Amino acid sequence: MGLALAVMHWGAKTDARDVEFVLGSGSEEKVPRELKEDINGTEEEEEEQEEHDVAPAKYHGMENFWCRQTEMWVLDFNQVRDITLDDAGVVLAVEAVRLNDPYFPKPLKSSEAEKHAWKAFIVSYIENSTTILRQALQNDQNLAVEILGFPRKFILGVVELEKERMSRREGGNTV
């Protein structure tokens, strides 16, 4: 997700407004044969086991849904807006996260899983953003080195959004 957002922000120069991240799996099995044999045994072992089973035989036409690779798709680009490589562009990107709230990891959460998701997101986002922006600097001598700070400004903006949400929630609970 961090890579995808870095590409949308700094490669395509869009705010990623209203994009949706969807997890799923493709229709093709992505498990190497050796691993499949470790899980299921060889075909000979499977046939031998079936001879001793009293339950109905396994339907071999059924796909094994447990052996699929999880994939992420990014959908719904109909509301993305162009951004500039400046502070105004960062503000638009942060605003897009506010609008897309359910699709992004959140900072300042308490569970270990949420902390891990946020850390993985920001590491991927910062590393990939830096790579993209360094390439842009090499290709366009008019760009200032200060653009390398924009990804961090974006992350700080997202953290501020979450602080505001938490503050509103706490204020709303005391009434």
Using one digit for the tens of pLDDT, what is the confidence trace for 141-162?
788 888 999 999 999 999 999 9
**Residue 36: predicted pLDDT:** 60
| Block residue for tokens 């407004």 | 17
Joined tokens for residue 80: 């993305």
pLDDT at residue 101, rounded to an integer = 72
95-150 confidence digits (pLDDT tens): 999 988 777 888 999 899 999 999 999 999 999 999 999 999 898 878 888 899 99
| pLDDT at 57 > cutoff 60 | no
| Nearest partner of 150 among 1, 4, 11, judged by Cα | 11
pTM of the model: 0.73
Type of residue found at 55: A
